[in-house]
């Protein structure tokens, strides 16, 4: 997978392929269907399959107060798209000049001149150009005039509702990470840096990594079964999202207990998959009651991670 930010350096081998323009936030099943069609189109025209995304999301410049937290960071998005077969991803630096382009200008300057696309694949709710005034009908006219192939992909529907980034975001915000997983191509993941905490987890026998500077959407408050990635290794994890009311703390934190880990993680990047919400966060009568609950949480997280690994490996 190649991540390209400067179209002035667009490689010749990535021209004359099939292109899909969009944010692809979260890389959900709807995106996966677009990618399937994109790969087929790329094969048909004898060129590469390219996804063109924006970094940051245009709404963060246009209406920053309304911008939702992203579901994926750029490198993670590229990783997920690569797993689906995409060869290159443009992470175009969003600026006022780009946002000022009319649909026709965007199509001419980006799609035709820079990417030299021979085909395009988009979803039904595709909008582009200044003030999002271009839609799929606009794109049909532009591609037809330029002699490009165009395919509009219908949405994916799960449980009677269209799969979308906003739907995934709503589920994750409510803590329903297992339901969100059914709409995503991979479990929901966040990243951050491990910082020093109060050290209470270690004194209770359950040391935790305090995950700071998370730059994507956090799941709703709760205790979760998860998987933690650091130092090239992976561990099952019990993850607390929220405050620590037993000790009178109200600061919102992310703390991950890496089950079976015995490594120094301070100052290291850490990524966490959220697999299932186990319980609410609430105060306990005392330290011993909390310790007993943590034992149950860790065992539940361990079992669920084993089950998830078995499912992913298609075990019986």
Residues pairing with 153 in the sheet: 123
Cβ atoms of 279 and 196 closer than 8 Å: no
| pLDDT at residue 291 is higher than 60 | yes
Q: Does 79 lie in the same domain as 21?
A: yes
28-87 confidence digits (pLDDT tens): 999 999 999 999 999 999 999 999 999 988 888 888 888 889 999 999 999 999 999 999
In a domain, 177, yes or no: no
**Total tally of structural domains belonging to the chain:** 2
Per-residue model confidence (pLDDT) at position 206: 85
Per-residue model confidence (pLDDT) at position 293: 93
Per-residue model confidence (pLDDT) at position 309: 83
In a domain, 176, yes or no: no
Rounded-to-integer distance, Cα 114 and Cα 306, Å:
47
Per-residue model confidence (pLDDT) at position 104: 98
Residue 65 DSSP SS3: helix
Q: Which residues contact 254 (CB under 8 A, 6 or more apart)?
A: 190, 192, 210, 211, 212, 214, 218, 239, 240, 241, 272
Q: Read out DSSP for 83-144?
A: HTT--EEEEEE--HHHHT--HHHHIIIIIIIIS--SEEEEETT--BSGGG-B-HHHHHHHHH
Q: Does 114 lie in the same domain as 228?
A: no
Structure-token pair, residue 55: 């970094």
Q: Does 73 lie in the same domain as 21?
A: yes
CATH code at 31? Answer: 3.40.50.620
Q: Does 106 lie in the same domain as 45?
A: yes
In a domain, 175, yes or no: no
The pTM of the full predicted model, rounded to 2 decimals, is 0.93
Per-residue model confidence (pLDDT) at position 210: 94
Mean pLDDT of the chain: 93
In a domain, 75, yes or no: yes
In a domain, 260, yes or no: yes
Domain span holding position 244: 187-312
In a domain, 173, yes or no: no
Q: Does 125 lie in the same domain as 257?
A: no
In a domain, 180, yes or no: no
Q: Using the 8-state DSSP alphabet, how is residue 67 labeled?
A: P
Rounded-to-integer distance, Cα 53 and Cα 59, Å:
13
Structure-token pair, residue 66: 């309304």
Per-residue model confidence (pLDDT) at position 147: 97
Q: Does 58 lie in the same domain as 154?
A: yes
Q: Does 152 lie in the same domain as 20?
A: yes
Q: Read out DSSP for 235-296?
A: EEEEEEEEEEGGGTEEEEEEEEEETT-----TT-EEEEEEEEEEE-----SSHHHHHHHHHH
Give the end of a domain, one of 158, 179, 212. Answer: 158
Q: Does 153 lie in the same domain as 7?
A: yes
Q: Does 149 lie in the same domain as 9?
A: yes
In a domain, 208, yes or no: yes
Q: Does 202 lie in the same domain as 148?
A: no
Q: Does 10 lie in the same domain as 149?
A: yes
Mean per-residue pLDDT, 101-127: 97
> Greater confidence, 139 or 64?
139
In degrees and rounded to multiples of 5, residue 202 shows phi and psi of -65, -40
Per-residue model confidence (pLDDT) at position 160: 97
Rounded-to-integer distance, Cα 104 and Cα 273, Å:
41
214-265 confidence digits (pLDDT tens): 999 999 999 999 999 999 999 999 999 998 776 667 678 999 999 999 899 9
Per-residue model confidence (pLDDT) at position 316: 42
Q: Does 148 lie in the same domain as 7?
A: yes
CATH code at 254? Answer: 2.40.30.30
């Amino acid at each position: 997978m190649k991540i390209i930010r400067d179209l002035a350096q667009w490689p010749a081998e990535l021209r004359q392929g099939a292109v899909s323009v969009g944010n692809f936030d979260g890389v959900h099943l709807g995106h996966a269907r677009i990618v399937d069609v994109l790969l087929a189109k790329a094969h048909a025209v004898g060129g590469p399959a390219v996804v063109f995304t924006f970094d940051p999301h245009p709404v963060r410049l246009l209406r920053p107060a309304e911008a939702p937290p992203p579901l994926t960071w750029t490198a993670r998005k590229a990783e997920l798209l690569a797993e689906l077969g995409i060869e290159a991803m443009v992470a175009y630096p969003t600026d006022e000049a780009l946002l000022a382009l009319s649909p026709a200008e965007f199509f001419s300057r980006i799609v035709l001149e820079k990417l030299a696309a021979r085909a395009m694949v988009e979803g039904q709710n595709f909008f582009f150009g200044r003030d999002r005034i271009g839609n799929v009908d606009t794109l049909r006219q532009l591609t037809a005039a330029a002699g490009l192939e165009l395919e509009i992909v219908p949405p994916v529907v799960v449980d009677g509702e269209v799969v979308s980034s906003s739907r995934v975001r709503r589920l994750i915000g409510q803590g329903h990470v297992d339901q969100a997983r059914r709409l995503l191509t991979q479990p929901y993941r966040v990243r951050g840096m491990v910082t020093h905490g109060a050290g209470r987890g270690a004194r209770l026998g359950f040391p935790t990594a305090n995950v700071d500077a998370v730059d994507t959407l956090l799941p709703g408050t709760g205790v979760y079964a998860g998987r933690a990635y650091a130092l090239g290794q992976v561990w099952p994890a019990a993850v607390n999202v929220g405050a620590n009311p037993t000790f009178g703390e109200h600061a919102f934190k992310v703390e991950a207990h890496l089950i079976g880990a015995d490594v120094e993680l301070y100052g290291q990047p850490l990524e966490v998959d959220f697999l299932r919400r186990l319980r609410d966060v609430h105060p306990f009568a005392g330290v011993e009651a909390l310790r007993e609950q943590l034992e149950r949480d860790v065992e539940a997280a361990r079992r669920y991670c084993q089950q998830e690994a078995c499912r992913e490996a298609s075990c019986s």
